[in-house]
Structure 1
């Protein structure tokens, strides 16, 4: 099953079940779960890589890289008291990218033999030479030293694929039972696990072996009031993480409480699905009788699990250099933050807004040692004290902005897809002064606290937007007073980030994340995290999503 062909899990009809949108899953062939623990000898991968590189150079390539990838996926799907599906897949193959006559060419194969990869390399050169007949400007790569034979492994404590399926099923069914005990009418829970075994080699002299792990527990609960016919749902407040199964062993030190009166709990490097699903069932029930919001201007206090999506859409995507340059317009367009706009030094946000790209953050989805061009990953500033200072870029883009170094954010979703510029982890830095969530709320006279992701929309230049959430609480004179419903806020990117008034300190910092960030044509999916602490935005326009217009 191809990633782009997989429909995923979505919220279903009223009165039925509720599930969040899920990533395209399982770009490979079904396998016995025990086969997911097998590996490929590094020496074998080096021989295959050399066969591809030598064939490419012999055919006329001035540069070549080869990616040997083994991609493992497992998904466990449950509903109420039963298992709906268990999926274990493997995809294994080789992608070869070359420059010949100053032009890119790419080919891939699942014939993983020396002859097979050499044939793919020769085909990639033929494609590059054919492309060069219409190429207007030759590819210019930022210099990149070779690292020799190196490796990087995700610092996991327990490989999720080694955990018996029965144990994982028990965890999900126990969570479902807890939701039903606390008033849920319907409940689904899911556990996704991914392992990418990636080997990269290039004519620059790198042979890089990486072992990458990701995990995502999630659920959706729905409560139906039979008397009124009303129903409400709440999704999990978990974040997908670049961790192993240890993520599902709750640690008290990883729990972060929302403001007093909100009954919200956030999680850092471990997650308590039982606690979260219990709260979700209770909150979904409360939402049925919650007061509908009165539209107007409010100070917003945004939980990191909610703010991550706003960062993703209004900062992460518009600072992708290919969108800025107009090379990429799929999945909601280009960017308002053009090179000309940046040169004017117009404020992207207030002085409280410091946003970094960071491929090194432990536990994040984007944490790897090297990207798919063999560039060592790093951290760099995007927005500093409200001013846009840099973009996200790869080797063939750096010269366009007068730089001579890639940012290490070039990726492909699998061996059979060509690598291109992707979003790194993009995170709002916590405040430097000590500031708790309760202290942040105390400064709000009329506001709304928002947790979780809801529906959203953003225009074709990543400028005008609207965001909803999962759970909303009114703030009056510095205190949480009651639950609200039908809340969404509207703004443009500059107005919103310039309204940022305060950010909680590092003790509240945690990740939101996305397993399935779509981009490109044909579409590719990527995983990315966004860190932040709870943050306050003053005077934001709030609408009532239940009210009719006109």
Structure 2
């Protein structure tokens, strides 16, 4: 890397850290280059070289992923542009089973000759690993799918939108915040496009075009007289969409104390509303610690679901495969379908769904060529399943994979990653107002904030963005310094109800980390607003 390139990248600040797949082979490109594609016939011909070479060298199974990963971010602060970056990473990853063991190799050289060499190397790795392997790999059967494709159902490709248009939108956003009294504002638009081609010796040739986007801002106000300050971030969430997410529709809004957004986002309306809320937050009274009912907005609850449900139901964690880095799980195999163990109460129905429209994890096929689907994890409070890949399925008595395999780039080996994990809406008609009417002493929490959870995903603490006191069924004002503590089983058994489908919304993260070497995964979590009774609330400003 040239010194100028290093300075350019390092100067991008925190925004670059949000981008997945910014690997060592990524190169900077002109935005127009992002629109170039690769002919699917050429990808198939290259994939066949890998599969045929692997079989000729002794592999009993092989799959190949040819990937092109595009990332763009545009970042601004107040009246100036902080940075614009467009990167492309292109290469091939080949995974094989030889002598009953996995082997993997990758290359950024995508010619027939180099792919053949990479396949040979993958088989050599597998044979070397087999010398110390215990039990041979057992793959769940997967019927070959032939030539198929899947594409994110986008309306406007973010990479086709001129950078100038994005900059103008962000600077207009900043201007509204500054006119509303903001001392500082950072704003950015992150866009991702994964062009992935998968082929395997099972007979599948799968071409996928996946899009994700994340617009955001963060506002800080300072009271110059007192020196006090506070911050609130945008109401947006990362989505499995493209620039159409930033083209709002009236029906995408959910009213209430703060406007929330479903499948479209109005950044200009949001920044105006949020800027005014910072003053209220600065003047809010500090919370009294104790037992409170907490009413959790989906913009907050997604993170609690992610940490306390998504991670502990990952089968590799349960089996101890991630213990050295990402941790283990308080869930054990004997608790699946056990009537003696209540993960939660009857209100708690949680599903995994790799097909959910506009979600970050939505794809047609996983990175093992398995068609994606939806399945129950927790049903009426009972743990009924985990998340598994082809080589894990037999461990929990499944005849097929659940499609949970993912690699962050062509250079990384695929392994078990979290699908979208979501709390299902309540079946009875209930709005947020209806829920609040039945709360005597509670706190309504909006937005995600700080969090802490132990390595078994059991004991935890969560903060938020905005906190409203509920007294005798009414909102009486904003609170500050709020966090709640619980453990996973106690928390989900305290669920007092979930609003109906009309309130259902997605939250999520671009960068869920796991594995050694670490990989990043994008995942969404949906819910309607939910109530949890008698939760321990602490004051984060008070010294213990």
| Greater Cα offset, 335-344 or 138-147 | 335-344
CA distance in 1, matches of 2:273, 2:325: 34
1:512 matches 2:504: no
Aligned to 1:246: 244
Residue from 317, 329, 333 that aligns with 1:335: 329
Alignment of 1:351-362 (within 5 A): 351-362=346-357
Q: Report if the CA contact (8 A) 1:332-1:461 is conserved.
A: no
Residue from 378, 381, 384 that aligns with 2:379: 384
Q: Report if the CA contact (8 A) 1:79-1:189 is conserved.
A: yes
Deviation of the 1:26 alpha carbon: 3.0
Deviation of the 1:343 alpha carbon: 5.7
CA distance in 1, matches of 2:344, 2:460: 16
Look up the SS of the partner of 1:470 in the other structure: strand
1:76 matches 2:70: no
Over 3 Å counting, the alpha-carbon distance change for 1:107 and 1:138 in structure 2 is same
CA RMSD of aligned residues (A): 1.6
Residue from 184, 188, 196 that aligns with 1:186: 184
Look up the SS of the partner of 2:449 in the other structure: coil
Aligned to 1:316: 310
CA distance in 1, matches of 2:435, 2:324: 38
Over 3 Å counting, the alpha-carbon distance change for 1:419 and 1:268 in structure 2 is same
Deviation of the 1:276 alpha carbon: 1.4
CA distance in 2, matches of 1:490, 1:331: 24
Aligned to 2:261: 267
1:426 matches 2:421: yes
Deviation of the 1:20 alpha carbon: 12
Aligned to 1:407: 402
Look up the SS of the partner of 1:537 in the other structure: strand
Look up the SS of the partner of 1:440 in the other structure: helix
CA distance in 1, matches of 2:363, 2:259: 28
Q: Report if the CA contact (8 A) 2:12-2:82 is conserved.
A: no
Look up the SS of the partner of 2:336 in the other structure: helix
- Normalising by structure 1, what TM-score? 0.95
Residue from 288, 291, 295 that aligns with 2:285: 291
1:326 matches 2:324: no
Q: Report if the CA contact (8 A) 1:423-1:528 is conserved.
A: yes
Deviation of the 1:413 alpha carbon: 0.1
Deviation of the 1:403 alpha carbon: 1.1
Unaligned runs of 5+ residues in structure 1 are: 11-18
CA distance in 2, matches of 1:21, 1:447: 36
Unaligned runs of 5+ residues in structure 2 are: none
Deviation of the 1:199 alpha carbon: 0.1
Q: Report if the CA contact (8 A) 1:332-1:459 is conserved.
A: no
1:495 matches 2:490: yes
Deviation of the 1:287 alpha carbon: 1.5
Structure 1 residue ranges (4+ consecutive) displaced by more than 4 angstroms after TM superposition: 5-10
Residue from 468, 474, 485 that aligns with 2:469: 474
Q: Report if the CA contact (8 A) 2:78-2:185 is conserved.
A: yes
1:91 matches 2:86: no
CA distance in 1, matches of 2:434, 2:232: 27
1:33 matches 2:27: no
- Normalising by structure 2, what TM-score? 0.96
Aligned to 1:143: 141
Look up the SS of the partner of 1:454 in the other structure: strand
CA distance in 2, matches of 1:300, 1:521: 37
CA distance in 2, matches of 1:62, 1:214: 35
Over 3 Å counting, the alpha-carbon distance change for 1:20 and 1:481 in structure 2 is farther
CA distance in 2, matches of 1:20, 1:228: 34
Look up the SS of the partner of 2:188 in the other structure: strand
CA distance in 1, matches of 2:521, 2:479: 34
Deviation track 1:274-328 (CA, whole Å, cap 9, x = no partner) reads 1211122111222111100000111111000100000000000000000011111
CA distance in 1, matches of 2:125, 2:434: 60
Residue from 339, 342, 360 that aligns with 1:347: 342
Look up the SS of the partner of 1:60 in the other structure: coil
Q: Report if the CA contact (8 A) 1:295-1:544 is conserved.
A: yes
